[in-house]
Amino acid sequence: MISPQVSNIAIMLLMMQASRRIDMENEQNIMYIRAAYIISIVSTYLVYQFVKRRIVATNDTTTITVTQPKNPMKPQETPVTEVMSVRDYDLREVDAAIKSIWSGVAMMAFMHLYMKYTNPLFMQCINPIKGALEHNETKIHLFGHKAEGELKRPFKAAPGLLEGLMGGASASQPAAAAAAAPVAEPASATATGASARIEELD
């Protein structure tokens, strides 16, 4: 099965090729692109709302332990662990996905209406609905997949770019210190030997 990351790249390449064949300055084409984007956003929202109804109807009160990921900007903070029901966890995941829809809409509105870019709007006509259909909650409550493996709650969050960079830097510090330690010892031994020779000359 093709992973979402690979399919996203494939769709992006296809959309880029298609955008080269479309006149983005034509008003009629712009209206079609706007309509396609709005249909995609509305469809995405309806998918999540349907998933929310299924979650409420299932009403799974099984408790799970959820650990909030650390804020990469505040690595000194300890992760927060809380116990909640599967129902509350699922609803929170769907609400977070819905919020991401409006964040994307705000960004596209700024780029299209204020900066007058049509190409990004065209490129985002498929991704919202595709993301909704590939969401873990949709797979469980809409397509009937079992909540096991990658779908086992709580879901594993992919590390962000900043978190990965900070993690790599922190992991390299002990290695660098260990590599520097053997170098420091011969240097101190050399200094001791040199001082001993100076005392002998005196």
DSSP for 26-95, please give it.
-HHHHHHHHHHHHHHHHHHHHHHHHHHHHHHHH----EEEEEPPPPTT-TTSPPPEEEEEHHHHHHHHHH
Position 191 pLDDT exceeds 50:
no
Measured between alpha carbons, how far is 132 from 98 in angstroms, rounded to an integer? 9
pTM: 0.74
Provide the domain count of the chain: 2
Q: Kindly indicate the confidence band of residue 124, based on its pLDDT and cuts at 50, 70 and 90.
A: very high
Domain that holds residue 178: 161-202
Assess whether 31 and 103 both reside in one domain. Answer: yes
Assess whether 154 and 79 both reside in one domain. Answer: yes
Assess whether 119 and 102 both reside in one domain. Answer: yes
Assess whether 183 and 148 both reside in one domain. Answer: no
Assess whether 83 and 69 both reside in one domain. Answer: yes
Assess whether 130 and 168 both reside in one domain. Answer: no
Q: What percent of the chain has pLDDT over 70?
A: 77
The residues, ordered by sequence, that sit 6+ positions from 58 with a Cβ below 8 Å of its Cβ are 87, 141
Stretch 119-124: mean pLDDT: 93
CB count within 10 Å of CB 50 equals 14
Assess whether 32 and 114 both reside in one domain. Answer: yes
Assess whether 127 and 151 both reside in one domain. Answer: yes
Assess whether 168 and 180 both reside in one domain. Answer: yes
User: For residue 20, what are the CA distances in angstroms to 16, 119, 122, 131?
Assistant: 7, 9, 11, 24
Assess whether 42 and 127 both reside in one domain. Answer: yes
Stretch 27-53: mean pLDDT: 97
- Residue where a domain terminates, one of 140, 158, 176: 158
